[in-house]
Structure 1
Amino acid sequence: MVDRYGSDVLSDDWRKPPRGRSTELPAEPGTVVEDVETGWVGAVVAVEKAGGVHVVHLEDRRGRLKGFPLGPGFLLDGAPVTLVPPRAAADARLDAARAATARTASGSVAAPRTRARVARASRIYVEGRHDAELVEKVWGEDLRAEGVVVEMLDGVDDLAGVVRQVQPGPGHRMGVLVDHLVPGSKETRVVDEARRVRSYADHLLVVGHPYVDVWQSVKPQRLGLDAWPVIPRGQSWKHGVCAHLGWPHDTQADLARAWRRILASVTSWTDLEPELLGRVEELIDFVTAPE
């Protein structure tokens, strides 16, 4: 049926101006607007603050400049706009530039924030908790982006047995980081035995650093030392280091607190020795490489 009385005049936005409602527009240089009151048309040249008021300077086609209070009262292609300081737009560009150059603690270019990736079957194994915590602090963001899990071995005395248990294979690689992997050490003999498990050799990578403990991979300068102290053979290395630094070392809790202090001195890859950095990067490349 035809409505003889027409539509309800109050059902719409009856206060809406003929040209539409004003929208905010950042006063970016080069933006051409018209001042409603004077009809002045010009391109934004600059925005400055004078006497507590933001002023936008517009340059017309003849090169003449005129200033106007920043705010409402301008038209862009016939539509009303409210000029606002370009700070928000500039901040957005700055944020984008920062994101493009942002680095993780490991020095890698930070990837955009995404949902957590499903964990890979390939894993990295480290000797103990301190190794795992250090790897997490420096490489954690990279590992989560790649879906790589770090697991603790609680020592490597039976590394060959662990390899047989894990059974690395295609799509299920096993990378292992070992402390004190130097010629003639117990760790070297253990690693050699694990590498002789031939059926898994193609999918196993064992690397190591020369330090007695992962503590020593932190640059001593971060703790105010010129070099890590030399601890006599037969004495607990961690206890000897704590004694040298004047830290309590009678109990396991004392050693745990000492490690927290050392770990707190690490903020990025620049705080670690290259002998550890290279080995961890090698393991990450190994477990994430396409088959």
Structure 2
Amino acid sequence: MAADRDLVVEDAATGYCGAVVGFERTYDGDFVRLEDGRGRTRLFAMRESAFLIDGKPVTLTRPAPAASRAPARSASGSTKVEGLRARTARASRIWVEGVHDAALVERVWGHDLRVEGVVVEHLEGLDNLGARLAEFEPGPGRKVGVLVDHLVHGSKESQLTRGLGEFVLVTGHPFIDVWEAVRPSAVGIEAWPKIPRGQDWKTGMCRELGWGTPQDGWRKVYGSVQNFRDLEAPLIGAVEQLVDFVTA
């Protein structure tokens, strides 16, 4: 029987009765320290059937150490908030280019965003950014974080996102499409194929990989992402920056 603290036992040889208050390890083996009703303590060897409980012989063993339970983690790697209750959404928003971007952000950062009360919306194309900002009117406490695909120097995307003001933060990744921001190993391939310019990227990708239609390909990509480890570092960093910006 595990000698849990305060367990009351009787030493079979001497009749001494006391509660377990500690242990000592010596050259002669393990000993248990018992404390009687007057506060006096004595050590007894933890030999087989050396103690009695309700008149029945028992062998005491050291209790197993309490397992330290690591805090549960969300898909993004943050500490998961148990018993999460819905909160009123912030006025600030995170905008992404399309439905697939929004789905992957929700897949990995959904828990964090609900904790912070941040809503993610898709623009249905970066060309709509200017009109959406004019309608939204960013300001103090009403920020916009924008996640952009293929945000590299000299690209169309970099030109569309210049000089948007202090209440708008644009971050992005260098990949042509958010699919490519998923690690190849996560979807079971060695590398993402290169699709020539002028071709629809998703259609060409599915053709090269034998994935069927873009709808079939998306189901495979989405189903392969379980947490942040399945994503490339540039996308992870870009989203984390936006979350910090709109919640500051």
The TM-score range, normalised by the shorter chain, is: 0.7 to 0.9
* Partner of residue 163, structure 1: 133
Q: How does 1:225-236 map to 2 (within 5 A)?
A: 225-236=189-200
Distance 1:149 1:134 in 2: 14
Q: 2:171 aligns with which of 183, 207, 226?
A: 207
> Any stretches of 5+ residues in structure 2 without a counterpart?
24-30, 35-41, 56-62
* Partner of residue 65, structure 1: 46
Aligned in 2, Cα 1:180/1:64: closer, same or farther, shift over 3 Å?
A: closer
* Partner of residue 267, structure 1: 226
Listed one character per residue, the Cα deviations across residues 86-121 of structure 1 (whole Å, up to 9, x for unaligned) are 78xx7xx54x6222xx32211222234331222111
Q: 1:117 aligns with which of 63, 87, 109?
A: 87
Distance 2:172 2:126 in 1: 12
CA contact (8 A) 1:126 1:132 kept: yes
CA contact (8 A) 1:59 1:65 kept: no
Listed one character per residue, the Cα deviations across residues 163-204 of structure 1 (whole Å, up to 9, x for unaligned) are 111111111111111111222222222212xx35xxxx1211
- One-letter identity of the residue aligned with 1:127: E
Listed one character per residue, the Cα deviations across residues 181-236 of structure 1 (whole Å, up to 9, x for unaligned) are 222222222212xx35xxxx121111221111100000112223222100011111
Q: 1:108 aligns with which of 60, 78, 86?
A: 78
* Partner of residue 126, structure 1: 96
Distance 2:234 2:219 in 1: 22
Q: Secondary structure at the match of 1:150?
A: strand
* Partner of residue 180, structure 1: 150
- One-letter identity of the residue aligned with 1:236: D
* Partner of residue 41, structure 1: 18
Distance 2:97 2:43 in 1: 75
Q: 1:224 aligns with which of 188, 192, 198?
A: 188
Q: Secondary structure at the match of 2:126?
A: coil
CA drift at 1:257: 2.5
CA contact (8 A) 1:125 1:175 kept: yes
Distance 2:115 2:19 in 1: 49
> Any stretches of 5+ residues in structure 1 without a counterpart?
1-25, 47-56, 75-85, 250-254
CA contact (8 A) 1:59 1:66 kept: no
Q: 1:277 aligns with which of 233, 236, 245?
A: 236
* Partner of residue 31, structure 1: 6
Paired-residue identity, %: 47
Q: 1:240 aligns with which of 192, 204, 207?
A: 204
CA contact (8 A) 1:103 1:110 kept: yes
Distance 1:106 1:62 in 2: 51
Q: Secondary structure at the match of 2:145?
A: strand
Say whether residues 1:137 and 2:96 are aligned partners.
no
Distance 2:132 2:140 in 1: 17
Distance 2:84 2:10 in 1: 44
* Partner of residue 39, structure 2: none
Distance 1:156 1:261 in 2: 25
* Partner of residue 13, structure 1: none
Distance 1:240 1:166 in 2: 36
- Rg larger for: 1
Aligned in 2, Cα 1:151/1:131: closer, same or farther, shift over 3 Å?
A: same
Aligned pair count reads 227
CA contact (8 A) 2:172 2:238 kept: yes
Distance 1:216 1:40 in 2: 70
- One-letter identity of the residue aligned with 1:169: G
Aligned residues: CA RMSD: 3.1
